[in-house]
Amino acid sequence: MNTRQATSLSEEEQLYRNLTPTSHEYFVEGREYLPGADSRSPLFHPPYPVVLEEGEGCWLLDVDGNELLDFTGNHTSLVLGYKHPRVLEAVRRQLEKGTAFPGVTAPQVRLARSLCERMPSLERVRFTNSGTEAVMNAVRAARAFTGRHKIAKIEGGYNGSWDDVMVSTHPSGEQSGDVLRPVAAPASLGLNPASVGDVVVLPFNEAEAAARLIEQHGEHLAAVIVEPVLGSAGMIPAERGYLETLREVTKRLGVLLVFDEVVSFRVAYGGAEEHYGVTPDLTCLGKLIGGGFPLGVFGGRADIMAMFDPSHGRPRIPHPGSYNANPISLVAGAATLEVLTGEEIRRLNLRGESLRRQIRTAFEDAGIPAQVTGLGSLFAIHLTSRPVRSYRGTIGADAPLRHRIFLGLFNEGVLIDPRGVGSISAAVGEAEIDRFVVALKAVLRTLTGS
Ligand SMILES: Cc1ncc(COP(=O)(O)O)c(C=O)c1O
């Protein structure tokens, strides 16, 4: 898009401003009505985010006519890319029939069957409108099933935007305490203090320390919830042995193990549980599972999920929701899963490995310390010389440099998440990977002055 002239953050930002005047107008107007001119806070970045208009495959068009090569996939939700014809066709057909009904629809049964056939942990599922709601219901089920009230979650893990898990999602160094006994730090003002008090925070990829904490709180713990690949902390995969340890200790103590696979599902045909060979009691899904429409899934052992069953009288756990299992999301999700075969996932994962390898080499060649993490088609860049095995390893990474690289990539026509994470959709081919790497090298050259 641009020849590299920006040699400082302020020049990079000026280039961004020159390319995005209409986005700026929307930002100024939007702020009159929306705090921060948007409804999704993690996506904000200075000076203002771009306003997007259209997407096709792995390309996005913004309101100023900039074409952007997309390595976000709406933050891993669009695993097939934008406007995939199979998804559009399924949605069109459903739109003609209706968008919401006061009863069961065939697409619900169809997608439930396809999920239960794919993932060993899923004996029964239920549908929600978001990953957040899926996690809420899974945690409620764990509390009801065990009769205990505390939950354990991972430091740096993001499991949705409700009180009980908005704890230690990205604590500052001062907030976080001993690395092997992290402190429970509220991630927002306005949380119920009782929620925060009932959370035990576990260190990621420290199996022994996590097991000790689970043992210590075992008699009060309903669930341990964990992302097999820590997503928003920067695509950090569980190391071999970690999830196995969580599985062993939770089983021994009667604590339910919940995998939050909202991001990690894509790493294997049967999700990360298949990749790691560890079967949780409950699983939560979201993002890609709705094929670009809002959908969440929670499910798992039939004996636990039976608590939601109203067919024998009042359910032990009611599960209302006006748009639960809305058919548009269900057919889009089903069409997505049909295309996302084992073969397609292997292809995506190879591309992901190739991209991570080339990003690593680009930073090494430029002499800029960086860690590239990820698994399958997920990747993240951490600007630090320390190995990144958990959220702690990301504290102290060079945030201003990350921002400059993010803007630089945008100015070169490549979009990643402002937090330095990204994913590859099935629409990304070798040519697009090459294009990403060329853009990154151009940005890194301006940083090193070479
Ligand atoms: C791992 C994980 N769990 C849960 C959620 C919440 O999903 P949603 O945004 O659909 O509420 C997210 C969202 O980013 C996530 O990354």
Q: Is 231 in the pocket of ligand 1 (CB under 6 A)?
A: yes
Q: Is 287 a catalytic residue?
A: yes
pLDDT given at position 395 = 94
Residue type at 274?
E
Residues of the chain with pLDDT under 50: 1
Q: Which of 164, 287, 391, 441 is catalytic?
A: 287
What is the pLDDT at residue 5?
67
Q: Is 160 in the pocket of ligand 1 (CB under 6 A)?
A: yes
pLDDT score, position 449: 82
Calculate how far, in angstroms, residue 169's C-alpha sits from the geometric centre of ligand 1: 12
Domain 9-79+342-448 classification at class level? alpha beta
Domain ranges for the chain: 9-79+342-448, 85-339
Q: Which residue has the tokens 């079967």?
A: 279
In angstroms, the CA 383 to CA 56 distance is 31
Question: What pLDDT was estimated at residue 3?
Answer: 56
Distance between terminal CA atoms of the chain? 20
**Ligand 1 pocket mutation, candidates 262, 265, 324, 391, criterion most atoms within 8 A of CB:** 262
pLDDT at 135: 98
Residue 277's contacts (CB-CB under 8 Å, 6 or more residues apart) are none
pLDDT of 432 = 98
Fold of the 85-339 domain: Aspartate Aminotransferase; domain 2 (3.40.640)
